[in-house]
Amino acid sequence: MKIHNFIKLSSVCLVFYNIIQSSYSQSKVKPNIIVFMADDVSYNDLGCYGNSFVKTPNIDGLAKKGIRFDNAILTTSSCSPSRISILTGRYPHNTGAAELHTEPKKDFSSIASELQKKGYYTGQAGKWHMGKLLRQGFDSIYDENVQNGDGGEAMWMPTIKQRDKNKPFFFWFAAFDAHRPWGQNRFSKTHKIQDVEVPSTLVDDKETREDLTHYYNEIARFDAYIGKVVATLKAEGEYENTLILIMADNGRPFPRDKTRMYDSGIKTPFIAHWSGRLKEGISTSLVSAVDVAPTLLDVCEVETPRSFQGKSFKKLFKDPNLEFRKYAFAEHNWHDHEAHERMVRTKDFLYVLNFRPQFPNQGPADALNSTSFKSLQRSRANGNLTAEQNDVFLQPRPMEELFELSMDEHQYYNLSGKNEFEETRRTLKKVLENWMLETADSVPDDLTKDWYTRDSGKKMEENFKVRGEMPGCNSNADEVNSGGPF
């Protein structure tokens, strides 16, 4: 009888042991990560950010059950430098690839390379635009246009299905949407021109409205494919264990947005979703794009390499109301045109220091070739531009600009030179100068010149593909790991 009871007791203990072990194992399952990267989409062009015109139901649904970050700041509003910065956790001038269409010469650690070392399957599908060395961190890359379709999303679902299913995964899913020129799109009738809200920086006419609807239709395609990925994750049994981030590389491809240091160019939509693992809500905490890489490694319990200049904001996933950064920094280097601007942003103010104030700042060549820009030119010729619309033609520009964000959401009214804001201007200028010093930034005399005209976006044969000195090059900024003021 005693032996019988002992056997029964042993059986019960074994069951409890197995349950405990199973729970422990589940708690130790490594999380999956997916970063969705939109191309040329401003922070306020998604429904969850208050845009009542755009149709983004899938993104909005993820935001509702996740965290919407309202102060996520990119390091530049320029495609390849921004993407490299996010992946490596370094500022553009510290990667050796500060200008558009350039790439690092050093093999920097990245989100992908560090996770790959720890047993992750790493994959990329869609737009690449980051050079050769960073490819080494990925097990699979699908970056050919013919593979990825018109919007860049066709290989997202196959990449998930074809992965090594014995490993956790990190996927970098980067769309072509919503980059110009507008391509074929089955969502072309999603948005109606009579319903669009035209930003006050653009002329409200038929041509501009049509231009904007094409842009929003491409955002709708980006959203639809995110929905397909979510469905695939659920079918694969991976949805509950996958942290999803949604962001963009820079602002919308319109005048006064893309490449600019204002929020329309430099603030990214940023949504984090992790089923049951995040505290739902809205975070107004200031975070930088250089913080994404260390945060993702922290989530995966992987040590952060010394080369990352950002810091982990993982604590915000548990409490979105916590404060994080005091300062976020950004830079505007060559992107079709000669430029050198630096920006520091707090939650209350945005300060810009322009080292090339002699030039107007219309935006990149693709924006200059748009019907929206041509409408601005026609209205200018007729003397009908408002101050907000004329900003892109202003020449020379102020060397310093200061904006109070609570009173001036879109940064229209420069407060630099106003006596009541002089202390704020001096303080932020000093902080920005310290950041430039600590990160070995530089202001070369021989910057890369304009490759395209600033009035029509036409190629300038005498300058085309001729590079000048890149910021940070002669100061060996790619060897500096300091992130500057925090």
pLDDT in tens, 121-175: 999 999 999 999 999 999 999 999 999 999 999 999 999 999 999 999 999 999 9
Structural domain contains residue 13: no
- Give SS3 for 69: strand
Report helix, strand or coil for 155.
coil
Task: For 309-319, write each residue's pLDDT tens digit.
Answer: 999 999 999 99
Is the pLDDT at 302 greater than 70, yes or no?
yes
**What pLDDT does 20 receive?**
38
Is 9 part of any domain? no
Q: What is the mean pLDDT of the chain?
A: 94
Read off the pLDDT of residues 353-371 as tens digits, 9 standing for 90 and up: 999 999 999 999 999 999 9
Whether 157 and 280 map to the same domain: the answer is yes
Sign of CA dihedral 437, 443, 448, 452: positive
Same structural domain, 298 and 344: no
**Which residue range(s) make up the domain with 198?**
30-323
Mean pLDDT (whole number) for 240-252: 98
Does some domain include residue 11?
no
User: Does 292 reside within a domain?
Assistant: yes
Is 23 inside any structural domain?
no
* Domain-terminating residue out of 300, 323, 346: 323
Q: Let me know if residue 143 belongs to a domain.
A: yes
Query: Given the structure tokens 């949407």, which residue do they identify?
Result: 177
Residues 239-243: contacts with CB under 8 Å, at least 24 apart = 239/275, 240/275, 240/276, 241/29, 241/31, 241/32, 242/31, 242/32, 242/33, 242/34, 242/274, 242/275, 243/31, 243/32, 243/33, 243/34, 243/272, 243/273, 243/274, 243/277, 243/296, 243/299
- In this structure, what are the phi and psi dihedrals at residue 22, rounded to the nearest 5 degrees? -65, -45
Query: Between these two residues, 3 and 158, which has the higher pLDDT value?
Result: 158
144 shares its domain with 222: yes
Spatial separation of the C-alpha atoms in residues 242 and 273, rounded to whole Å: 8
Confidence of residue 28 (pLDDT cuts 50, 70, 90): low
Nearest Cα neighbor of 227 from 7, 448, 62, 93 is 62
Does 453 lie in the same domain as 335? Answer: yes
| Residue 397 counted as domain residue | yes
Q: Find out whether 248 and 39 touch, Cβ atoms under 8 Å.
A: yes
Asked whether residue 26 carries a pLDDT value surpassing 50, the answer given is no
Q: Write the CATH number for 50.
A: 3.40.720.10
Task: Dump pLDDT digits (tens) for 199-242.
Answer: 999 999 999 999 999 999 999 999 999 999 999 999 999 999 99
Same domain, residue pair 259 and 238: yes
At residue 53, φ and ψ (nearest 5 deg) are -95, -45
What pLDDT score does 13 carry? 47
For residue 404, the one-letter residue type is: E
Q: Which of 166, 222, 165 is nearest to 190 (CA)?
A: 222
> Is the predicted pLDDT of residue 4 greater than 70, yes or no?
no
Note whether 259 and 350 are same-domain residues.
no
Given this model, what pLDDT does residue 103 score?
98
Same domain, 142 and 163: yes
Q: Of 293, 323, 353, which residue is a domain's last?
A: 323
126 and 251 inside one domain: yes
Total domain count, the chain: 2
Residue 10: pLDDT above 50?
no
Q: Which string of DSSP letters, residue by residue, matches 63-97?
A: HHTSEEES-EE-S-SSHHHHHHHHHHT--HHHHT-
Residue 391 has pLDDT above 90, yes or no: yes
Give the pLDDT score at 7. 44
Inside any domain, residue 18 = no
> Is 0.75 topped by the overall pTM?
yes
pLDDT in tens, 90-134: 999 999 999 999 999 999 999 999 999 999 999 999 999 999 999
Do 298 and 355 lie in one domain? The reply is no
Q: What is the rounded radius of gyration, in angstroms, for the C-alpha atoms of the chain?
A: 24
357 and 465 assigned to the same domain = yes
CB 333 within 8 A of CB 470: yes
One domain, residues 67 and 178: yes
Has residue 18 got a pLDDT over 50? no
Q: Are 92 and 178 in a shared domain?
A: yes
pLDDT of residue 25: 37
Q: Which of 307, 323, 339 is the last residue of a domain?
A: 323
**Region of poorest pLDDT, from 1-5, 273-277, 381-385, 466-470:** 1-5
Q: Does pLDDT of 15 surpass 80?
A: no
pLDDT tens for 441-461 read: 999 999 999 999 999 899 999
Greatest C-alpha distance within the chain = 104
